[in-house]
Structure formats: structure tokens, C-alpha cells
Amino acid sequence: MENIAQRSINLKSSKKIIGKVLIYIILIMLTVIVFIPFLWMLSTALKSEADVFSWPPDWIPKPVQWNNFVDAWRTMPFTKFLQNTLFVVLLGMVAELISETIVAYGFARFDFPGKNLIFVILLSTMMLPFHVTLIPTFVIWNKLGLIGEFDPLVLRAWTAWGPFYIFLLRQFFMGIPIELDEAAEIDGSSPLQTFLYVLLPQIKPALLAIGVFTFKGYWNDFLGPLIYLGNKEKYTMNIGMYFFLGGINEAPKWNYLMAMSTLIALPVVVLFFIAQKYFIEGIAFTGIKD
Amino acid sequence: MERFVGTFIRWLITPVVLVLIAIGIYHLLKRLGWKHRQAMGLSLISPWIIGFLSFIAFPLVNSLFLSFTDYNLFNKPEWVGLRNYQWLFTKDIEFWPSIRLTLSYAALTLPIGVLGSLILAMLLNRKINGVGFFRTVFYLPAILPEVAVALLWRLFFNSESGLLNYILRPIFNLFNMGKPNWFGDPKFVLPAFVIMSVWGIFGTNTVVFLAALQGVPRSLYEVAELDGANFLKKFLHITVPQISPIILLQIIMGMIGALQVFTVAMFVRPTSAAGKFLNQLVYERGFTQLHMGEASAIAWVLFIIILLLTLLVFKTTPAWVYYEAEAKR
Amino acid sequence: MKKKLVGFLFIILVVSLLMSTCLGAQKKKVTIRFATWAGTDEAKELQEIIDQLNAKSQQYIIEQDSNPADYDTRLLTQLSGRGGPDLFWVSSQRAAQLSAKGVMLDITKMLASSKHEAANIADYFEASLEPFKVKERIYGLPWIEQPVVLYVNRDLFDKANVTIPKGNWDWDKFLEVAQKLTIDNSGKNAGEKGFNKSAIKQWGFTVNGWPPAQIFVWQSGGDIIAPDFSCSPIDTPEAIRGFKFYADLINSPMVPSQQTIRDRGFDTMFRNQQVAMFMGGAADNLENRVDFRCEVIEVPMGPTGIKSTFADVLGMGINSKTKNPKAAFEALLDLTSAIHQWKVMPPRKSLATLETMNKLHPERSQAMQNIINSLAYAQPYRYFENYPDWDNIFWTQLMDPIVNNQGDPEELITIVKPLLDEKLK
């Protein structure tokens, strides 16, 4: 008896090891695929202008032009662009996280007439191609006299303007058993307390994910700054970067473009690396779900 | 720093105004005889409603109106009734190929996107060494500038020297066929875009699933394991129902995303003989040819398609989406 | 003490008075927002020009708003939403559209009454003004007219023992030269026996939709759009001959496959000496931007001796909704005139002389005579208000199949002509 038990444990653990090795193999293969464009971007960023299109392509540039990063940064007032970007990102992200959590909570936990219709309308705002609403939206901001300011990029964040994030948070809220709210209420906590201390901790992974997404959204926003800012003083990094695209008789500076792309991507990578640590298997926040 | 002051002050005032309006709405509704929780619900979502009424409703209705007019962005729109739609459905040589291309693309990529990212998320939802590294790497595609990625695609798909044809060579030899001309031959444009869409598995979709998987209690799996359930059973009977709300979300978002491909298509510029994606057509009609009326009509056709498909998916939800919050009522 | 204080106060008074008058004078200057698609270097050079003009002018301060990304979307959204710039760069295709729709200010009268050198309409090449004219009214001014010329790699010509053609040369000569410059891995050229088509390392010429087929149709005596805009006469024998020549070039071994071009980069292949002849705009200044000996010559002429080439015209217009039309007009003239000194070629007869141009661009002395010669017969497309509609059909239905899919021009033309004619109605 003992032997059989022993053997089955051995079998189980060897099966587990094989499984783990298999997972590693798959993950490493996928990593290679995903890494190719990133490496290509990095390698272009380190090339001299003449080597960018050399054929066959060199993965390791010779010589490696580390000063591309500094040169690209100095070509345009990127320090100013960085300040502008941080300002927009901070204001937008904070406002969006707060407003969207509240709105999603409203959709997930309360019943009122017309709720489903409103929710469908909310989703439908994502369904119309943005090019046909671009001009009327511009007209509204123009009437408000705020063209050329940062306002069109950040003020609407307070009105929970990301339907995807509302949808996402709503789904997460709806995954939490209602008994949790009820138990908290019996214990005498107010709806606000229930929201802050019972529900929010439950959806921490979702909030983290949305934090990263919104950060990236404002950080990489392209069309908004392009159309509304209209002055180099207020440009964000992402718009400043496109100066390297060149003009009619000026070739694009791919190496600078990629150097700036790399610099712009870095903070998001770091932020995500920090955030993902909180995605730990089976967090199982409370007793109720188990 | 002067350039930030005005916006910052307005940014501080906005939420105060929104909260005051929300409180006002609550009291008004109470007075109209709504129950406490009903009034509370509507006031909680009131910031979105205000944003919608002030910034989205007008552009939305405006574009619907424009789809019934002849409008060139600058002169007064001229009412033409259904003419734009009639033209699209019966005479326009680009419209139907575009519908076909866009819908086939969505139909092919949606399952790949949802299933692929779910499987990847499950792989990443394990306590293995270096998982943080892998998670970060797999989020990279969502961070990289689209221009960089599109450029890579052009190199990757090159029929003569691209990596893809090099890898697939044995398969072509097996079927005795030449190297496909991915972006130049209309037959291969759709497959090329489907292959590119695999990229979409990584990034945002996987992160969302990863966040969802955090909520599945470990104990459920342990109980099932004691009952001798295998991987597939655990997947079908525990994982899928537990994260079904998020699967629903991914299906709908995937659909909206796939039907609105734009940037990559504009940058890669495959042969137009394969047709253009609908969103490309909207852009060209509106901003290149200055027929905003026609562009709006195409946009609204796309809008209706997406809306109907979304409603269809929602209709099926009681059968397979499992909400903890509802189940226990 | 007191005296000192009084003196000090007096000085302050005088200084502040002086400053206020200065400020007052400055306040009278209006700000002119100026949108362009210039990239880094171009924007910097342009800023230098603007700084000089701003310092000189009593009327305006030009504020540059440049960005090469998505210029069309940005400009059209701002103009349509009535928050547009006062002054903006515009391509000739857009100019034809925007003038007809009243988006660009009608400057006919202002031009007539101005004594500015850039306001002298008679001095401009006729062709360069066409895109800015609607019914004899003028809505903008061109700041560049660059003819398409042929850049040739002298090193490769010498290596293949081919002399660079001068002046009048025709299609046959062109094909002959291209053949001799197309070389396979074993060193044989495309005219020799045993030439290996599947192992070419150097091509004579390159086409990817650019240069436009229009050039060859014009050279063979055909036309793409009739002068009275009544139809697209692409089914005449002359036009078909032009299209056929173009299609045969693309499918010949003398031109790399479209895949190879996409992959290695169109003009990059010329820079990397993989292509020996390249048709480019005169302003590309390739001969000073490559590391081999490069020269500029005229494009070949058609089989019946017709000389023709395409001219890319770019210009500037004033927003018809501007609050300061007068200052904007002064800025337009000053900028146009300054850019004429900066770019090749200025669309003005008085400037397009060998002497003047050599003074302005001494580094381009070899090219200049040929560029000036080309300008004499260069023409832009026949733009009209709905040209983009016509152009969409022309490219997607006719040129794309010819370039990408070995389409037969003769077959395609019979299908496409009615579609094109419909857009001209």
C-alpha cells in the first residue's frame, strides 16, 4: 500500500515537472515572437541614419549609436514635452479612475428604470467610427473657447469617458456576491463604507489593470493633442516624436523616431512590471467566495 | 508652469460641480417618488450621463443627420434623404467588398483573440519563476507605437525575403505552391491581416483575463481535484463560468475592435483590389474626398452592424454568463 | 538726496514710458497662426525665416504650428470647426478643393493692388497657379514647383561603360540604357545572353506607382483628363501606348518587383546603389545627399519627340474666416517670397534663371540647367474640385492592378474609363 501511494506521488510530481517544462517552452517561444519587434525597434534606435535601411538588416548596429537618445531629445524641447505629458497623464488618470469606478458601481449594484437602455447607449458610443464625430466635438470645445488648452484632453475624464473601463469594472463588480454588501450593511456600515472598504479591495486587480491602461492611454494619446493643442509649447511627447517623420523633401529619421519610441515606452513597461506583481494566483480575497 | 494653471483650476472645479449636480438629481428623484436605491443608482451614473449629453449626444445625432445630407465639411449640409444609403447599397463599387472584408476579418479573428488570450492568461496565472518577466514581455505589444509594429509587419510579410515565407517554406513546398505575395495579391490580404491579429492576443486582452482569473477561488479547484476532475473539466466547469462576465466583455470588445481596424491598414496599405476596411473607407470619404455625408452613412451602417451583433450576444447571456451578484438573489 | 530721488524717479518714468510705447507698438502687431507639415529640420529652417520676417514686420507676428503627422485630419478638423490657422501650407490637390469651397480667401483684388514682388501674378509660371485658380479668381500662391527629373548614378554608368544621355533622348534609348544597367549576380546585363532573371543584384530603373503614369501618357501624346474636364481620354491609342510602356517597364527585369521595393525602400535602393536611375522631384537634391557621384538629367521624351514631365506644386492659402485678412495677406506674401529663395524651384520666371538659381543654390550647379529646362514643359495634374473622387477610381481600379498585379492596361481601360468619366460629370 505504502509503495503504491509513494509511486503515485512520484508520478504526480514528475507529471508536474513535465507540465512546468512544457509551459516554459511555450512561454519562451512566445517571448521570442513578441520580442522581435521590440528588438528591431531598439536596434533601429541605435543605428546611424545611413544604416537604418542597410540590406541585409543588421540586428546589432555597428557602431552602436548610444548618443541617438540624447541627440533626439535635444532636437526638440522634449523636456517641456515631458512636463506637458506628465500633467495630462496625471490629471486624466486620476479623474478617470475615480469617476469610472463610481459609475460602474452604480451600474452593477443598483436597479433603476432605464438602466439597461442607458448601458446599451454607453456601449454604443464605442461603435461609431471616431472620424465622423471628430469635427462636432471640436466645435463644442471651440464654442467653450478652450482650443489650444489642455482642457479637451483631461476635463472629460471626470465624466467617465472610457466606456470600456466602465464595462470592465461593472463586470468585476457583478462577479462579487451580493451577500458581501448585505453582511457589511448588517454590521452597520454605510453604503459609502461598503463601497470603499468591502468592494474596492475585491477588484484591486481590475483597478490596477485600468490604472495601467489609462496611464498608457493618456501617455500615448495622438489625435487629441494633435488637433487640440496647436502650439509647440503645449505638445506632448508622443506628438513631438512625430516631428521625426520628416516632410515632403525631408526623409524620416527612423533612428530618432525609434529612440523616442523606446524612451516613451519605458515608463509604461516599468509601471506594468510593478503592477503585475499584484496579480497573484488565487488571491481569494475573502472567505465568502470559497 | 503658467501654462498649466488654468486647466488645473478647471480640472479641480469640474468634479465639485458634478457632485453637486448628482446630489441635486438624487433629491429631485426622491421628490418624484423614486426609491432610495433607485435615486442613488441614477445619481451615481449621472457624471457619465452629463458627459454624454454635453459631448457625445450632439456629435452622434449630428453624424446621423449628416448621413442623410450632402455635406463637404464647409458648406451647409444639403438634405438628400436616403440617397447616400441608396448609392452605397446599389452603386458604390467599394462598399460591398469593404463590408465583406471587414466582416470576414472580424469573424476569423474574434475566436482567435478571445481563446488565445484566455489560454495565455492561464499560462501566466501560475506561480512559476520569472512569471513577472513573461507577463511584462507579453504586455509589450500593447505599448509599442503602432508605427513601429506596422513597419515590422512590412518586413515580416515580404514575399521574397520576409521571415514568414521563410518559416512557411516547407508547407508551400508540400502543396507545390509558390511564395504568397501577402500584401500585393488580393487573395492573401485577408490571411495576412488575420495572422497580424494574432498579435492582439497579447497585451490588453491577456491582462484583462489575468485580472479576472485572480477572482477565481483556489478552493474550487482543490475540491474538483479531490473529485478527480481533469484539466479540461476544471476549465469548463470552474474557470469558464467563474470568469464568464469577462469573456462576455472580451467578445463584445473584440467585435467592436475587429470591425474598426484602421491604423495598421492605413500604414501597411495592401493592394486595394482586396477591398478596404470600413473605417478606412470612412476616413477616405470624409477627409480625402470631403464627402462627409457619405462617410457618415458608412459609419452608421457600421454602427448598426456592431449594435445588432452586440444585442445578439447580450440576448444569449442568460444561457452562459454567470453573475455571482445575480445568481444568489 | 532729494535731487537724487527726483532724478531716479524721472528716469523710471522715462524708462517706463519708453517701454509702454514699445509694448504698445508690439501690441498693434497681430498674431498670425501658420500651420505646416514641416518636420524637424525643415521646421527649424522655416523658423529662422519667420524670425527674420517677424523682426522686420510692423503688422504681424507669425506663430509656426508645424507637425508632419496626419496634417490633413488636423487641418480639416480645425478649419471645419472654425478654429483653424490663419495661414496654412496646402498641396495643389487640396488647394483645388478648398478654393472651390470658399475655405481659402479670395486674394485676387489684394494681389492686384499690391506692389510686393511676390504679388506679381504675371511673373508666376502659368501651370503653377492653376491649382489655386477657380473661375479666374486666385485663392493662394505656390511656393514651390518642382519638376520630376532623372537622378542617375554616375559610378554605375561608368562601371557599365554607358555614357550619360544628354538633352534629347527617347524611350528606346531609355530602355537600352536601363537594360545595360540591370545586372545579375554573374555580372551579365539584361541585354546579354544567359542573363539570370532570378538573381538580379542591380536594376536599371524603379517604379512603384511613382513616377506617375501620367508622365508617359503625356509623352506619348495622350491625356488623362481632357483640358475642358469633359472626360478622361485614356482610351486613345496615344494614351494606351503610354500606359503599356509603363506596365511593360514594371513587369520587365529592369525594374525590381514591388515586394523588393517595399522591402528595401523605394528611394533607399537608389541611395544604396541597387538602382541606377531614379525619377524624383527636383527639390529632393539627391545628388548632394548620396555617397556616390550622382547627376541630374532630363527625363526621356516620347517616341514622337514630345517632352513632358510632372510638376509637384505646393502652396499657401489664407483661412477665409481669419480675423486679420490684411496682416495674413502681408504674411503670405513675405513668406512666399522668402520660401522662393529657399526652395528649388521657385515658380517664378524672374527667379528661375541659371544665374539667380546658381547664386541661391551654388551646390546644385550641375543640376540647375536641367531642372530649369524641365520646368519649361512640366505640368501638374488637372486638378478640379472633386479630383480626389476621380483619383480614387484611377488609383484603385486602374493603377493598383497595373502596378501590383500585372494588369493589362488595355483591358482595364475599357472597364475604368466609364467610371472615371462619371466622376467628371
Q: Residue C388: which region, alpha, beta or left (left: phi > 0; alpha: psi -120 to 50)?
A: alpha
Structure confidence by residue, pLDDT tens digits, A241-261: 888 877 666 777 888 888 888
Q: A279 — phi, psi (to 5°)?
A: -90, 85
Question: Which residues of B fall within a CB distance of 8 Å from C401?
Answer: 273
Residues B172 and B266 in one domain: yes
Do C260 and C406 fall into the same domain?
yes
Range of the domain at B219: 88-320
Report the alpha-carbon distance of residue B145 to residue B160 in Å, rounded.
26
On whether the CB atoms of residues B292 and B79 are closer than 8 A, the answer is no
The 10s digit of each residue's pLDDT in A196-215 is 999 998 888 889 889 988 99
Residue C77, chain A, CB below 8 Å: the answer is yes
Within-domain flag for C139? yes
Beta-carbon contacts of residue B274 (< 8 Å; ≥ 6 apart):
B97, B101, B186, B187, B189, B190
Which domain, by its residues, includes C296?
148-311+382-423
Work out the percent of chain C whose per-residue pLDDT is above 70. 93
C348, C364, C379: which is the final residue of a domain? C379
Nearest chain B alpha carbon to A85: B4
Number of A–B residue contacts, CB under 8 Å: 322
Say yes or no: C153 and C282 in one domain: yes
Which are the contacts of A93, defined by CB distance < 8 A and separation ≥ 6? A157, A211, A214, A215, A218
CA–CA separation, C59 and B293 (whole Å): 40
Residue C290 lies in a domain: yes
Is residue C243 within 8 Å of residue C234, measured between CB atoms?
A: yes
Looking at the fold, whether B174 and B221 belong to one and the same domain comes out as yes
Q: pTM, whole model, 2 decimals? A: 0.87
pLDDT at res. B289: 92
Q: What is the mean pLDDT of residues C381-387?
A: 92
- Show the cell assigned to A194: 461598503
Q: Where does the pLDDT of residue A168 fall: very low under 50, low under 70, confident under 90, or very high at 90 and above?
A: very high
Chosen for mutation from C78, C259, C321, C393 (greatest number of chain B CBs closer than 10 Å) is C259
Q: Does C396 touch chain B (CB under 8 A)?
A: yes
Alpha-carbon distance A242 to nearest alpha carbon in chain C (angstroms): 6
Residue B207 included in any domain: yes
| pLDDT interval class at B325 (50, 70, 90) | low
Region B83-100: mean pLDDT is 93
pLDDT of residue A1: 47
Residue in A55, A226, A243 nearest the CB of C264? A55
Q: B65: Cβ–Cβ under 8 A, 6 or more apart, which residues?
A: B77
Looking at the structure, tell me whether residues B107 and B213 fall in a common domain.
yes
Tell me C296's DSSP state.
E
Nine cell digits for residue B166 = 521563410
Q: Which pLDDT does position A6 carry in this prediction?
A: 63
At residue B265, the pLDDT reads 83
- Per-residue model confidence (pLDDT) at position C131: 92
Cα–Cα dist C275/C197, whole Å: 15
| Residue B120, domain CATH | 1.10.3720.10
Residue C310 confidence (pLDDT)? 95
Max Cα–Cα distance, chain C, nearest Å: 106
- Are the CB atoms for C294 and C153 separated by under 8 Å? yes
pLDDT of residue C378: 93
Same domain, B184 and B45: no
Query: Are B174 and B115 members of one domain?
Result: yes
**Fold for the domain defined by A75-286:** MetI-like fold (1.10.3720)
pLDDT value for C413: 95
**Best mutation target, B288, B294, B296, to test chain C (most C CBs within 10 A):** B288
What backbone phi and psi angles, to 5 degrees, belong to A275? -65, -40
* Same domain membership, residue C176 and residue C268: yes
What Rg do the C-alpha atoms of chain A give, in angstroms?
A: 25
How many domains is chain B built from? 2
pLDDT band at B147 (very low <50, low <70, confident <90, very high): low
Which residues, other chains included, contact A213 with Cβ-Cβ below 8 Å and sequence gap of 6+? A165, B204, B207
How much is the mean pLDDT over chain A?
A: 85
Tell whether C252 and C365 lie within a shared domain.
Answer: no
Please check whether residue A53 is in contact with residue C272, taking contact to mean a CB–CB distance below 8 angstroms.
Answer: yes
Rounded to a whole number, what is the distance in Å from the CA of C39 to chain A's nearest CA? 4
Question: What pLDDT digit, counting tens, does each position of A53-107 carry?
Answer: 665 667 788 788 889 999 999 988 999 999 999 999 999 999 999 999 999 999 9
The per-residue pLDDT for A143 is: 92
Instruction: Work out how many domains chain C is built from and give that number.
Output: 2
What pLDDT, on the 0 to 100 scale, is given for residue A202? 87
- Shared domain check, B225 and B177: yes
The number of C-alpha atoms within 13 Å of B140 and in the hemisphere containing its C-beta is: 23
Residue B71 lies in a domain: no
Chain B partners within 8 Å of C389 (Cβ): 289, 291
Asked whether residue C10 is assigned to any structural domain, the reply reads no
Same domain, C301 and C366: no
Residue A32 has a pLDDT of: 83
Instruction: List C-alpha distances in Å: C391 to A43, A102, B24, B283.
Output: 39, 50, 56, 15
**Is C6 among the domain residues?**
no
Strands B78-79 and C200-202: unpaired
pLDDT, average across residues C311-319:
95
Q: What is the per-residue pLDDT across A139-150, written as a single tens digit (0 to 9) for each?
A: 999 999 998 899
Give the confidence band of B274 by pLDDT, cuts at 50, 70, 90: confident
Collapse the DSSP code of C120 into the 3-class scheme (helix H, G, I; strand E, B; otherwise coil) and give the result.
coil
Query: CA B258, B261, B267: angle at the middle one, nearest 5?
Result: 150
C174 and C141 in a common domain: no
Please tell me if residue C259 touches chain A, with a CB cutoff of 8 Å. Answer: no
| Residue C108 near residue C329, CB atoms below 8 Å | no
CATH number at residue C180: 3.40.190.10
Mean pLDDT of the region A139-166 = 93
Query: B143 and B48 in one domain?
Result: no
Distance from CA of B277 to the nearest CA of C (A): 14
pLDDT at C108 over 90: yes
A270: nearest CA in chain B? B136
Q: Are residues B203 and B245 in the same domain?
A: yes
Lowest mean pLDDT among A140-154, A174-188, B14-28, C324-338: A174-188
Is the Cβ pair B93, C388 closer than 8 Å? no
B74 and C80 in contact by Cβ < 8 A?
Answer: yes
Which residues of A are less than 8 Å from C33 in CB distance?
A: 230
Residue C241 lies in a domain: yes
* B289 and B259 housed in the same domain: yes
Arithmetic mean of pLDDT, C240-257: 95
Does residue B195 lie in a domain region?
yes
Co-location of C155 and C98 in the same domain? no
Q: Are B110 and B251 in contact (CB under 8 A)?
A: yes
Question: What is the average pLDDT across C347-361?
Answer: 92
Tell me which chain B residue has its CA closest to the CA of residue C387.
Answer: B289
The answer to whether residues B149 and B284 belong to one domain is yes
Closest residue in B to A223 (Cα–Cα): B263
Q: Specify the 3-state DSSP secondary structure of B281.
A: helix
Whether residues B51 and B126 fall in one domain: no
Say what the pLDDT of residue A286 is.
38
Is position C17 within any domain? no
Lowest mean pLDDT among B31-40, B167-176, B255-264: B167-176
Residues A47 and A95: their CA atoms lie apart, in Å, by 40
Provide the pLDDT confidence category of residue C21 given band limits of 50, 70 and 90.
Answer: low
Q: Is C149 helix (H, G, I), strand (E, B) or coil?
A: strand
Provide the shortest C-alpha distance from residue A71 to chain B (in Å): 20
What span, in angstroms and rounded, lies between the C-alpha atoms of B277 and B270? 11
**pLDDT score at C18:** 60
| Chain segment C76-94, per-residue pLDDT in tens | 999 999 889 999 999 999 9
Arithmetic mean of pLDDT over chain C: 90
Residues B222-249, mean pLDDT to the nearest whole number: 88
Domain-embedded: residue C19 = no
Residue ranges of alpha helices (H) inside C304-408 are 325-340, 354-360, 365-377, 387-393, 400-405
**pLDDT value, residue B258:** 92
Give the span between the Cα atoms of B298 and B304, in whole angstroms: 10
Rounded CA-CA distance B232/C157 in Å is: 69
Distance in angstroms (rounded) separating the CA atoms of residues A229 and A235: 7
Residue C229 phi, psi (nearest 5): 60, 25
Domain boundaries, chain A: 2-45, 75-286
Residue C408 included in any domain: yes
Q: pLDDT tens for residues C257-295?
A: 887 887 777 888 898 899 999 999 999 899 998 889 999
Pairing mode, strands C140-153 and C30-36: unpaired
Q: How many CB atoms are located within 10 Å of the residue A2 CB?
A: 6
Backbone φ and ψ of C150, nearest 5°: -105, 120
d(C-alpha A8, C-alpha C9), whole Å: 102
Q: Are residues B99 and B53 in the same domain?
A: no
* pLDDT tens-digit series, residues C154-189: 999 999 999 999 878 999 999 999 999 999 999 899
Contact between chains at A247 and C272 (C-beta distance less than 8 A): no
Interface confidence (ipTM) of the complex: 0.88
In angstroms, the CA C382 to CA A253 distance is 33
Interface touch A239/C67, C-beta < 8 Å: yes
Q: Last residue of some domain: B17, B35, B66?
A: B66
Q: φ, ψ for residue A222 (rounded to 5)?
A: -120, -60
Helix, strand, or coil (residue B177): coil
Chain C neighbors of B289, CB-CB under 8 A:
386, 388-389, 392
> What's residue B132's pLDDT?
86
Residue B290 with chain C: CB contacts under 8 Å: 76, 97, 101, 388
Contact C40 A249 (CB under 8 A): no
